[in-house]
Structure 1
């Protein structure tokens, strides 16, 4: 890949090997989004589905030769936002202008704007990223944005 640096190709190959669970030189296309996110790409489900991810396991297998151009293309996609972009977007809901917003309002935003999330997904994001609520139900949105972008999140036991 002419537009990928040798280090990026090596990193992609290394991550590909992790998803090549049967050491056959192929990975399940259902894991394409996870592979791309492990390479630190911020992509939407729509982007990764368009690139070739399948919904069900076993439908399609991809080789590293097929994955590298996908990685290259997805790297070129418009950046999905920086920490400052997210913080600026959340400031709209900061009615008290004190760095907080209502947790319930954030849940509503996550359920209704952008890529569709389920109630369960929103609950998981809130539990992993929102931090403690104050007595009035407010959270610090800067903490939320930093934690969200830092992902992935360990399973709680």
Structure 2
């Protein structure tokens, strides 16, 4: 088993801090799945259940950064070859998010599509793309939905 390199650890730290909303140095087992997806790793339901059970039983339902690295590190090492780093994903997201509000609208998708896809998209294609990606149905694409879109 190879060690995670400093860049990978940095990515883990950025993701961990994003989900440590109360800044107490730990995240709850419920946030682990979303945090993993932010890193580009798409855990199966079974993996999430196993990880959640492990964290609840052995760690009081929360993990600090070191425990997070122990839990997630091996999975990331397996996936590294197939993974986009969080920085690259954020850069790609910003290409679409023209007004930098953290959301991609149909208008922004229409604007960015020619440059990123090499051709403009018809309105129906855009609507269909947005429907597929917009998991919560609010008419916009947030970063998590964007990550999931690129991971499928």
Place the TM-score, normalised by the shorter chain, in its bin: 0.3 to 0.5
Higher helix share: 2
For normalisation by structure 1, the TM-score amounts to 0.46
Q: Per chain length, whose mean CA-contact separation is higher, i.e. which structure has more relative contact order (CA < 8 Å, sep 6+)?
A: 2
For normalisation by structure 2, the TM-score amounts to 0.47
Return the index of the structure with the highest Cα Rg: 1
